[in-house]
Structure 1
Amino acid sequence: MILLNKQPVITEQFPNGETKVKDFDHLISADNLVQFTYQEDGDLIKLLFVKKRLDEAEVRCRLVINYMPYSRMDRKIEGDLFTLNYVSQFINSLAFDQVYVIEPHSAKTTQLLNNSEAIYPALDWLPRVMAELGFTDQDRVVFPDKGAAARYEGAGYANCCVFDKTRNPQTGRIENMILKQGNVPIGAKCIIVDDLCSAGGTFLGAAEILKEMGASEIYLLVTHCERRVLSGKLLNEGSPLEKIFTSTSMMNEVHPKIEYITINIEDYV
């Protein structure tokens, strides 16, 4: 999905699958903001069409990427394609005046994108959610791995817990998970913070360990949440997780354990 100056860009498909962009020109202004939500690879073609028309109009244009596609493929692995690099090169070729990436999976994204800046709304949401849940000094902010800890290291919370996990390099499955830093007082509330949730195996593993250590309530705050979470175990009735707080950057399905938080992009750009 693409928004131009807060208005949806309307598209249709011809029978052979080609894209038609409809009723577009009235959306153009002198200073334009494109908000890009990736759902499938065809959305990149739509972004190409939108930017090329704006170039023809000779107007200024900035891009907000709600979730950077291919951001998990952020390093060169022997025999595999470095797809984040290629997608970043494609976006660079469109020559936006400024690119904002909401909660990139790693610093590699902004290193590869020209004129780019990372936005971390989770850091703004966290104190509000903690206040809503009645957190006290005995409760804990939890980072499920070293990547999350590095991403939010400037959050300024003293009572943090950090997990370390080991994945099988062939299957990608988590083989081991331990609490590397911090402690969990008996009866403490915990909120796990990260950028992205897929099926939720990492968070389920962390939540189960926290529960065993004596946590009373466990929550998840994650900026991006894939639809795959709906078919995983994280939201099951027997899950130790009370609720997920997330944005609509990747999904908007209603679920009793999901609470959506709106990203007010005007606060950041």
Structure 2
Amino acid sequence: MPALTEPKLISGNANLKLAEAVARRMSIHRGSAVKLVDARVERFNDAEVFVEVHENVRGEDMFIIQSTSRPANDNLMELLIISDTLRRSSAGRITAVIPYFGYARQDRRTKARTPISAKLVANMITQAGIERVLTMDLHATQIQGFFDIPVDNLYASPVFALDVRHHFKDCLDDVMVISPDVGGVARARELAKRIEAPLAIVDKRREKAGEVAEMNVIGDVTGKRCIIVDDICDTAGTLCKAADVLMDSGAAEVHAYITHGVMSGPAVERVTASKLKSLVLTDSIAATPEVAAAPNIRIVPLAPIFAQAILNIWGGTSVSSLFEHETLQPLYETLYS
């Protein structure tokens, strides 16, 4: 059934640049202007979030674009309050577009008397009136089951595959994909299959959280251009140590493709001083000035894939079609022509 209303976008303050880029992309796809809904998302003096929408949204198909990145609690509250504002303004349907889903690393109880915060956040999102979630590279795919509403989880690997084929087109035979730990093998294997490259694993053993005691390479990386694939880069300690281990094992050079660049603490300084030839991040989290200025960090845009996913949801067509190379390549043809 064709949609009777127009898709309308509204954004919090987490990643306004990405929201504006998605709106521009949707304008190109539709051949008519798509703009962010005029709204105020501000703080009172005591840091309470206040939202006011200046346009009529009654019966409209609303998409809230808001990553729950640092400061995670503030951005999460913005998302919830924007949703409540739209629900009380009689919006027809509310979809949360969350490029980076915060709290995803707390998806299970790792020891006694600890929370499952990802489930709590899922409950809060549902109770706020959100009827659908669109996100990318959830840290644990089972988080989709924490929601009692539909969840579309996009993957960065098709976008990364396009980027790798473009930047390594003259030496694809020398490329090897690396999983930085055993838990990330499925993610690394997905990219390796897409670019038809071999796979190796860096086995890491932690003595306690935040510290890596020992790393060993499983596989022969001699003379290879190694590409480390992961979903989150936080302090970059593990990533930079993995690059050192790979170079010590005979790799020709080391690159990394990470979906969500949290980049907290000394991350930028570590990457800049490391043996990584390049670190490729998506813009699921707004880049800080330090990240943008780093000489060996590059940003890949997500606006094309999110814009098309929003249009597919609005039009009632397949979102999973965006997992395929043939569907995605035309969206990025201006970038990888």
* Category of TM-score, reference length = shorter chain: 0.7 to 0.9
Q: CA RMSD in A?
A: 2.4
User: Which of the numbers 285, 307, 313 marks the counterpart of 1:266?
Assistant: 307
Q: Distance in 2 between matches of 1:249 and 1:64?
A: 11
> Which residue in 1 is equivalent to 2:237?
201
| Compared CA separation, residues 162 and 231, structure 1 to 2 (3 A) | closer
User: For the residues of structure 2 that align with 1:123 and 1:146, how far apart are their CA atoms?
Assistant: 21
1:207-240 C-alpha deviation (Å, 9 max, x unpaired) = 1111112222211110111132654553233x11
Residues 138 and 185 in structure 1, CA contact (< 8 A), matched pair in contact too: no
Cα distance in structure 2, aligned partners of 1:208 and 1:84: 33
CA positional deviation for 1:259: 0.8
TM-score, with length taken from structure 1: 0.88
Question: Is the 8 Å Cα contact of residues 84 and 129 (structure 2) preserved in structure 1?
Answer: no
1:46 corresponds to which of 69, 78, 84: 78
SS of aligned partner of 1:192: strand
Equivalent position of 2:199 in the other structure: 160
Distance in 2 (CA, whole Å) between partners of 1:230 and 1:172 is: 13
Change (3 A) 1:268 1:229: farther
SS in structure 2 of the partner of residue 62 of structure 1: strand
Please name the residue that 1:36 is paired with.
66
What number of residue pairs does the alignment pair up?
Answer: 265
Q: TM-score, normalised by structure 2?
A: 0.71
- The percentage of aligned residue pairs carrying the same residue is 23
Shift of 1:58: 3.6
- Aligned match of 1:172 in 201, 205, 210? 210
Residues 1:242 and 2:277 are matched in the alignment: yes
How do 1:52-67 residues align onto structure 2 when only pairs under 5 Å count? 52-56=84-88, 57-67=90-100
CA distance in 2, matches of 1:140, 1:183: 10
- Which protein is richer in strand relative to its size? 1
Distance 1:139 1:43, change over 3 A: closer
Greater fraction helix: 2
Call closer, same or farther: CA 1:158–1:12 in 2, change over 3 Å.
closer
Q: In the alignment, is the contact (CA less than 8 A) between 2:175 and 2:197 conserved in 1?
A: no
| Cα offset, 1:200, TM superposition | 0.9
Out of 139, 142, 155, the position equivalent to 1:108 is: 142
SS of match in other structure, 1:88:
helix
User: Does the 8 Å contact 2:236/2:267 carry over to 1?
Assistant: no
